């Protein structure tokens, strides 16, 4: 009669699967925060670029504000936009080109 095979637990296989499961869990716990950190770092870089652009625009607007505070600047700007003072006559010259 052949030896009888028992259906016992193979502890070596179970240990390998448990070790693999623990390794997968540890890997998941490290990868999640790492991916979050990478995406946050990229977003921060985009925001730094946006802030730099806005600061440059703000500097231009401050310069424009300083220009418009000069005497006669508002009148020059109004005339550039085609406005005339009360009582003046506006002339349109065509065909210069």
* pLDDT value for 4: 64
- DSSP assignment string, 8-34: ---HHHHHHHHHHHHHHHHHHHHHHHH
DSSP letter (8 states) at residue 5: P
Full pLDDT tens readout for the chain, 97 residues: 666 666 677 888 889 999 999 999 999 999 988 999 999 999 999 999 999 999 999 999 999 999 989 989 999 999 888 889 999 988 888 888 7
pTM of the model: 0.53
CA separation for the pair 38, 46 (Å, rounded): 13
pLDDT of residue 96: 85
């Amino acid at each position: 009669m052949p030896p009888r095979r028992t259906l016992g637990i193979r502890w070596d296989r179970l240990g390998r699967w448990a070790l693999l499961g623990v390794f997968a869990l540890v890997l998941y716990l490290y990868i999640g925060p790492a991916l979050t950190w990478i995406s946050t770092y990229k977003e921060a870089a985009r925001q730094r670029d946006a802030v730099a652009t806005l600061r440059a625009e703000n500097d231009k607007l401050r310069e424009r504000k300083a220009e418009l505070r000069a005497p006669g600047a508002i009148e020059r700007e109004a005339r550039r936009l085609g406005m005339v003072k009360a009582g003046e006559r506006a002339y349109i010259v065509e065909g210069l080109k």
